[in-house]
Amino acid sequence: MRIIGLDPGLQRTGWGVIEADGPRLRFVACGAVQSTAERALAERLETIFQGLRGVIAGHGPFEAAVEETVVNRNALSSLKLGHARGVVLLAASVSGLVVTEYAAKKVKRSVTGTGNAAKDQVAHMVRMLLPGAGEPTGDAADALAVAICHAHYRMTARQIERRHAGVGA
């Protein structure tokens, strides 16, 4: 199963694509879609939308996982980030992907074992779990962590479904 993880941001939206085959994970690609602060908000959002549509078309994921937005003290910053997050959700949805959202603490816990892990701890574990990823940027590492989180939760959910259906019990 090919999964794209997405870490929304107005300046940089991280993305990471992995292959999940049961508990086995394989790195496919990662990067970030960048927008320029000098451009109007609508143009920046279009850049994110079009960039993600290209990434999705180029890598053919079946599902998307998106990190939920952390609310900042600055209301305007949170609002702008919310716009970017909406565009990320839209790009995945109109591309025909099933979209699942995860809280940042759940992503961190899934990858590092603790919901309070620092960004460098998350990036380190992403490199350990996906050796082919090399040294992804912070945004791309966060997106890969979201994809890993989704792969873990998806696998667990399927095991539970099978047990309830009496298969493999």
Is 120 considered catalytic here? no
Among candidate residues 154, 117, 166, 125, the one with its CA nearest the CA of residue 23: 154
Quote the CA–CA distance of 168 and 156 in Å, as a whole number: 13
Quote the CA–CA distance of 37 and 132 in Å, as a whole number: 32
Is 7 considered catalytic here? yes
Is 161 considered catalytic here? no
- pLDDT tens digits, one per residue of 102-157: 999 999 999 998 888 888 999 999 999 999 888 888 899 999 999 999 999 876 65
pTM for the complete prediction? 0.90
Q: Which residues make Cβ contacts (< 8 Å) with residue 56, sequence separation at least 6?
A: 4, 64, 91, 92, 95, 97
Q: Catalytic residue among 43, 67, 101, 120, which?
A: 67
